[in-house]
Amino acid sequence: MKIITYITFFSFIGLTLFFPKAFNFRESEKIIAQDTIKEWAEVNFEVQGIQNRMAYADTANFMHQKIYPCARCFLRPEVAEALEEANTIAKEKGYILVIYDCYRPYGYQKVMYDIVNDPRYVAPPGKGSNHNRGRAIDLSLADENGNLLDMGTPFDDFTAQSHYDADNLSREARRNRKVLRNIMKRAGFAPYNNEWWHFDYRKKQYETADFRWDCDE
């Protein structure tokens, strides 16, 4: 059964209304293809049985600001298919995937970088990050009852303890990080050592994008 909804979007780069105040519109024009049709896949949390904890659609994040208008997760179609494979593997092992972030509009990248100002944790806007291309995902694991596994730090903990092989981790946290990494690698994702939660799809490259999704609310 297909568990991904495919949606086609038009990117209207000329509509500055959608850009936050801190965003440099001229910079984006040089990077993002204009008036192109972008095909995306939306993760169906309910059907897939994945926990929706989209951090930037709420104020419970490191910025204490709501960045996304609503908690929807979009990825490139091939990336969404790989995530589906990871979800299958996780379920076979008795785990539930917990998603914190997926595709991130380019305009929000600068806002986040200006706040963190550390390229180890938030990529400089420049030509865009893998989140801006729809090929990166931030996630964790929960047990079969929906309880988050101990990973040693919360999501978006910008300390050395968020590094995959950090010192002073408990045996349980180290094991849980390894389980998550193995699941994602089997599904075609590459880990990022400075953030235990971050994984990039490794089989294909994509253009930077800045479309904004609609919300029912």
Q: Which domain holds residue 160?
A: 4-201
pLDDT confidence of residue 217: 56
pTM across the whole model: 0.81
Give the rounded percent of residues in the chain with a pLDDT score beyond 90.
60
Residues within the annotated binding site for Zn(2+)? 131, 138, 198
The answer to whether 114 touches 183, Cβ cutoff 8 Å, is no
Q: What is the CATH number of the domain that holds 94?
A: 3.30.1380.10
pLDDT band at 137 (very low <50, low <70, confident <90, very high): very high
Question: What would the mean pLDDT of 16-24 be, rounded to a whole number?
Answer: 36
CA distances from 62 to 145, 148, 157, 169, 183 (A): 27, 19, 8, 22, 27
Residue 39 falls in the annotated catalytic set:
no
The structure tokens 């914190």 sit at 100
pLDDT confidence of residue 133: 93
User: Nearest Cα to 102, choosing from 68, 71, 131, 130?
Assistant: 131
CA distances from 92 to 85, 151, 200 (A): 11, 20, 22
Q: Is the pLDDT of residue 23 over 50?
A: no
Q: What is the mean pLDDT of the chain?
A: 84
The answer to whether 99 touches 139, Cβ cutoff 8 Å, is yes
pLDDT band at 11 (very low <50, low <70, confident <90, very high): very low
Is 208 among the domain residues? no
Is 174 among the domain residues? yes
Is 212 among the domain residues? no
Considering its fold, how many domains does the chain have in total? 1
Is 210 among the domain residues? no
177-200 confidence digits (pLDDT tens):
999 999 999 999 999 999 999 999
pLDDT band at 27 (very low <50, low <70, confident <90, very high): very low
Considering 42, 46, 195, 217, which one is annotated as catalytic? Answer: 195
